[in-house]
Amino acid sequence: MDTPVYQKYGDWIAEGKVPYRDFRPEYPPLALPAFALPSLVQDQPSDPERYRRVFELGMALSGAVAIALMAWTLGLLGAGMGRFLGALGFAALAPLALGSVVLSRFDLWPAALTAAALALLVAERDRLSAAALGLAVAAKIYPGVLVPLAAVWVWRRHGRRAALT
pLDDT at 45: 65
The counts of H helices and E strands in the chain are 9, 0
Q: Which residues are registered as beta bridge partners of 19? A: 23
The tens digit of pLDDT for each residue in 112-127 reads 999 999 999 999 999 9
Specify whether the CB–CB gap between 104 and 1 falls below 8 A.
yes
- Percent of the chain at pLDDT > 90 equals 71
> Is the pLDDT score of 28 beyond 90?
yes
pLDDT tens-digit map of 41-99: 877 667 888 999 999 999 999 999 999 999 999 999 999 999 999 999 999 888 888 87
Instruction: Report d(CA 53, CA 22) in Å as an integer.
Output: 27
- Using the predicted structure, report yes or no on whether residue 1 has a pLDDT greater than 80: no
| Backbone phi and psi for residue 23, each to the nearest 5 degrees, phi listed first | -155, 160
Residue ranges of the alpha helices (H) in 15-47? 32-40
